[in-house]
């Protein structure tokens, strides 16, 4: 964990730089979460397994809460909520759409949807983990706590997706497919 100490004048520029990076990355994930609220319903529509549909449906609701929580993060650091296109999430969503188009409906498409969804979760886990640490470094305690909450929920979604993916592998073994 980084420790905050009194800064010398020569170091203030560094803190300013980190703060700018923090706010910029907040805008990136704010855009990403909004894009995901539009993308997840398509994944739900294309999924077959009840467990997967259920997990994605719940995560859609959680994702909407992430947007609200990010708005609280912006205001806690005295910034206006604003989105900035996240090229990474835009790319992952485009890949998810391609996977859904090119696979046959059923277990294989479900496996592809899980793959795409887990790529998204891992991106979010990396982003929220870093943002949480930046917030802590900047002494933004409220933002730190809010970002930690979202980080935990993204990790939870990732674990659930892994459990579903593993149940497919088991089923495959049982049916000999
Ligand atoms: Zn999220
Ligand atoms: Fe991004
Ligand atoms: Fe997520």
Cα(43) to centroid(ligand 1), Å = 15
Quote the pLDDT of residue 137: 97
Indicate the pLDDT class of residue 3, thresholds 50, 70 and 90: low
> By the 8 A CB rule, do 107 and 168 touch?
yes
- pLDDT tens figures, 12-55: 677 789 999 999 999 999 999 999 999 999 999 999 999 999 99
Distance CA 42, CA 174 (A): 30
> By the 8 A CB rule, do 34 and 67 touch?
yes
Cα(73) to centroid(ligand 2), Å = 17
- pLDDT tens figures, 103-148: 999 999 999 999 999 999 999 999 999 999 999 999 999 999 999 9
Cα(76) to centroid(ligand 2), Å = 21
Cα(10) to centroid(ligand 2), Å = 30
Ligand minimally distant from the alpha carbon of residue 67: 1
């Amino acid at each position: 964990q980084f420790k905050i100490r009194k800064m010398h004048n020569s170091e203030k520029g560094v803190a300013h730089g980190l703060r700018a990076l923090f706010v910029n990355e907040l805008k990136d994930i704010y855009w990403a979460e909004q894009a995901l609220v539009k993308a997840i319903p398509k994944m739900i529509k294309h999924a077959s397994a009840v467990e997967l549909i259920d997990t994605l449906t719940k995560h859609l609701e959680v994702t909407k809460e992430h947007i609200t929580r990010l708005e609280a993060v912006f205001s806690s650091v005295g910034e206006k909520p604003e989105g900035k296109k996240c090229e990474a999430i835009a790319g992952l969503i485009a890949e998810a759409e391609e996977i859904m188009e090119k696979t046959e409906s059923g277990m294989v498409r479900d496996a592809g949807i899980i793959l795409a969804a887990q790529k998204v979760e891992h991106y979010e886990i990396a982003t929220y983990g870093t943002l949480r640490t930046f917030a802590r470094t900047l002494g933004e305690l409220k933002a730190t706590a809010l970002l930690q909450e979202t980080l935990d929920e993204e990790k939870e979604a990732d674990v659930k997706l892994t459990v579903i993916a593993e149940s497919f592998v088991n089923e495959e073994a049982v049916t000999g497919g």
